[in-house]
């Protein structure tokens, strides 16, 4: 089955001192000019809702090897543009120290901020994530209704199964990409990006979507395409009702490009680009990101290749394959025990380890997954960026000093640059020299 994949990763932009920057537009202008020198392709450098976050993406590609190549190519360009301006790209899910993000004035963002509430939405400006796109058959997605009535039965079934499969992978991807343990200068315990972006009333997680779980939380499995379509409409109607409560006129949402698929900031969503989008991962180092992506893509590829039926099962907390069926954890297990352990459990958590073991066994393969499996066998737990940071920066006081926070941030920038093949710290794109003349 010929399907494409794509990757988007958000990065904090820092000044050379390690302090947060607000020069996103200057950075993006440099990237755009440099990209234009090498031919016209998809726009792979984009703004976020605050001036200190930027997005680096890949165009749609057909293999993991192509994804890695495009990812590294665009990171090299981004890092070079940043260096030419005296800036750095910080790759982890949260910046370790306290700061106040500066928001953009776009109508779309204003509607979101006012509907969610400024005091909650500001958390989104302090969190950086990674998104994986798994392409569906052409014509499957219709932004007006979610899933097109004109799509073939096979395409509709694929969308249903892939959406459920992506949902079942959410705790695994959260755990593997746990990155910076600090938020606003404090060790929060639970993974801070997931807590402060997604939120979760059941666990006492105060985040952007704590009060709007249908807009930003993990949505339940659906048993039929009709239920999946209804889920999209229910979320849209709930968003309009939230706008009403906040005193926001509905026409502003439409003027900002809103449609039935727009009010979806969930960890898994049907995207208007015709993909199932997995949004639950922390931003992280390239090796961590590419390992998590390989896991998700390998699982999806096997389900498609073997035409397996994906069935939620309340009796299991692992992936279990038999015949032409893949049984995945029931939603109560997934959104309860597994999610909580993935976000807030210890890094040697046996419940998460058994769940991850089953997914990696199902995915099979070599490469990064074989190395990940070996790390688990030799170390007794799956390695995470968070664990490495805690070994060096953790303390009994639960906070990090400004000096250590800046050092952590700059070390993370250095590690990012070291993991991008072909990037040297003295590299500068030619556009930077031209722009200063």
pTM for the model stands at: 0.95
Distance CA 102, CA 193 (A): 18
For 107-264, strand residue ranges (E) read 129-135, 141-142, 146-147, 182-183, 186-187
Per-residue pLDDT tens for 239-275? 999 999 999 999 999 999 999 999 999 999 999 999 9
| pLDDT > 50? residue 433 | no
- Domains of the chain, CATH where assigned: 6-427 (3.30.590.20)
Both tokens of 404, joined, read 């250590």
Share of the chain above pLDDT 90, in %: 91
User: pLDDT averaged over the chain?
Assistant: 94
Read off the pLDDT band of 424 (50, 70, 90).
confident
Strands in 325-329's sheet, in edge-to-edge order, are 309-313, 325-329, 320-322
Read off the pLDDT band of 188 (50, 70, 90).
confident
Q: How many other CB atoms are found less than 10 A from the CB of residue 339?
A: 25
Give the residue-averaged pLDDT of 121-128.
97
pLDDT at 2: 83
pLDDT at 397: 75
């Amino acid at each position: 089955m010929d399907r494409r994949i794509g990757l988007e990763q958000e990065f904090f932009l820092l000044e050379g001192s390690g302090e947060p920057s607000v020069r996103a537009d200057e950075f993006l202008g440099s990237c755009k000019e440099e990209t234009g020198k090498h031919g016209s392709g998809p726009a792979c450098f984009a703004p976020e809702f605050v001036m200190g976050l930027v997005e680096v993406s890949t165009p749609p590609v057909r293999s993991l090897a192509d994804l890695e190549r495009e990812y590294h190519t665009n990171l090299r360009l981004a890092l070079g543009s940043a260096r030419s301006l005296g800036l750095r790209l910080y790759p982890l899910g949260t910046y370790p120290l306290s700061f106040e993000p500066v928001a953009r004035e776009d109508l779309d963002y204003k509607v979101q901020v006012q509907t969610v509430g400024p005091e909650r939405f500001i958390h989104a400006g302090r969190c950086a994530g990674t998104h994986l796109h798994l392409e569906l058959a052409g014509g499957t997605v219709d932004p007006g209704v979610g899933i097109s009535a004109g799509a073939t039965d096979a395409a509709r079934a694929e969308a249903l199964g892939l959406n459920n499969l992506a949902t079942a992978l959410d705790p695994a991807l959260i755990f593997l990409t746990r990155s910076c343990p600090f938020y606003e200068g404090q060790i929060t315990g639970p993974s801070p990006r997931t807590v402060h972006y997604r939120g979760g009333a059941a666990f006492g997680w105060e985040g952007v979507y704590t009060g709007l779980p249908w807009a930003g939380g993990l949505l339940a499995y659906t048993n039929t395409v009709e239920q999946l379509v209804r889920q999209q409409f229910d979320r849209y109607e709930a968003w309009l009702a939230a706008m009403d409560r906040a005193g926001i006129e509905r026409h502003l949402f439409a003027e900002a490009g809103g449609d039935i698929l727009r009010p979806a900031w969930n960890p898994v969503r049907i995207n208007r680009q015709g993909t199932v989008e997995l949004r639950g991962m922390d931003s992280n180092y390239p090796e961590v990101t590419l390992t998590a992506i390989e896991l998700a893509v390998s699982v999806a590829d096997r389900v498609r290749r073997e035409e397996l039926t994906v069935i939620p099962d309340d009796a299991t907390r692992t992936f279990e394959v038999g015949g032409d069926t893949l049984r995945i954890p029931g939603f109560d297990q997934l959104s309860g025990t597994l999610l909580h352990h993935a976000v807030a459990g210890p890094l040697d958590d046996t419940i998460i380890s058994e769940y991850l073991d089953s997914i990696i066994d199902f995915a099979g393969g070599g490469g990064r997954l074989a190395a990940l499996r070996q790390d688990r066998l030799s170390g007794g737990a799956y390695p995470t960026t968070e664990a490495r940071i805690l070994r060096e920066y953790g303390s009994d006081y639960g906070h990090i000093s400004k000096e250590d926070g800046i050092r952590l941030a700059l070390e993370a920038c250095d590690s990012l640059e070291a993991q991008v093949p072909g990037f040297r710290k003295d590299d500068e794109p030619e556009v930077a020299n031209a722009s200063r003349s």
